[in-house]
Amino acid sequence: ETGVTQSPTHLIKTRGQQVTLRCSSQSGHNTVSWYQQALGQGPQFIFQYYREEENGRGNFPPRFSGLQFPNYSSELNVNALELDDSALYLCASSLAGVGEQFFGPGTRLTVL
Amino acid sequence: AQSVAQPEDQVNVAEGNPLTVKCTYSVSGNPYLFWYVQYPNRGLQFLLKYITGDNLVKGSYGFEAEFNKSQTSFHLKKPSALVSDSALYFCAVRDITGGYNKLIFGAGTRLAVHP
């Protein structure tokens, strides 16, 4: 069984740039959720994808967007980066309707 | 709205002693509760969950958690702490508002186990 993987591990961008983060879900999982973990805080829910559609979203602006592909992998895109976007971005996969989510190692994004 | 609170920023314990990391929750309906651990520069690792049934839930690495409905608590415990248990611990509750399943996390508690 393959766990959740994310790429890249680290990323440095400047304000105003755009970034794409990638996630491969655990084998057999059809739902992907993205979370933002700012330094010293707990993870905050960004959005969730199921069957290639966004089916739920947290309190994040539209410049945060995503995709899910037929193989259930996913991308998180952030446009017009701001300094406050600096955080660890976590991807989690699960089976729809089941509470347990399995997390990837995260992507550390630094915005300068 | 569903929420969890972790009242302690840090817990210090000596190796070999029992440890407790506290979590209280506020939910409408039956709570689905989770504990995750995060090691430096790593993602979250699932430890255990409570959905229904026995109030004492056993999980990975010798951890267990006690669900207490009257006190709305879900404290994480381990009988004998190891130095390698030192990490950041998060309590979370499932929120199905809007018809989809997401996790609401506490702010985290840093556990430091001293030799």
Residues in A closer than 8 angstroms to B105, CB to CB, are 42-44
The alpha carbon torsion through A72, A70, A57, A86 (nearest 10 deg) reads 60
* Closest-CA residue to A23 (of A81, A99, A75): A75
Q: Residue A1 pLDDT > 60, yes or no?
A: no
> 3-state SS string over chain A?
CCCCEEECCEEEECCCCCEEEEEECCCCCCEEEEEEECCCCCCEEEEEEECCEEEEECCCCCCEEEEECCCCCEEEEECCCCHHHCEEEEEEEECCCCCCCEECCCEEEEEC
Beta bridge partner(s), residue A77? A20, A65
Q: Does B27 touch chain A (CB under 8 A)?
A: no
| pLDDT tens profile A6-40 | 999 999 999 999 999 999 998 888 999 999 999 98
Say whether A103 and B90 touch across the interface (CB within 8 A).
no
Q: Which residues of A touch B (CB under 8 A)?
A: 4, 6, 31, 33, 35, 40-45, 48, 50, 55-56, 58, 90, 92, 94, 96-106, 108
Q: What is the pLDDT of residue A15?
A: 98
Predicted confidence band at A98 (pLDDT cuts at 50, 70, 90)? Answer: low
B43:A104 CB<8 A: yes
Can you tell me whether residue B64 is helix, strand or coil? strand
Looking at residue A96, its pLDDT comes to 77
The confidence score (pLDDT) of residue B63 equals 97
Residue A100 has pLDDT above 90, yes or no: no
The predicted pLDDT at position A99 comes to: 62
Q: What is the pLDDT of residue A2?
A: 66
- For A48, the closest of B90, B100, B104 (CB atoms) is B100
User: Which position has the higher pLDDT, B29 or A59?
Assistant: A59
Contact A42 B90 (CB under 8 A): yes
What is the average pLDDT score of chain A? 93
- List the pLDDT tens digit at each of the 115 positions of chain B: 789 999 999 999 999 999 999 999 998 888 999 999 999 877 899 999 999 889 999 999 999 999 999 999 999 999 999 999 999 999 999 988 888 889 999 999 999 999 9
Note whether A111 and A99 are within 8 A (CB): no
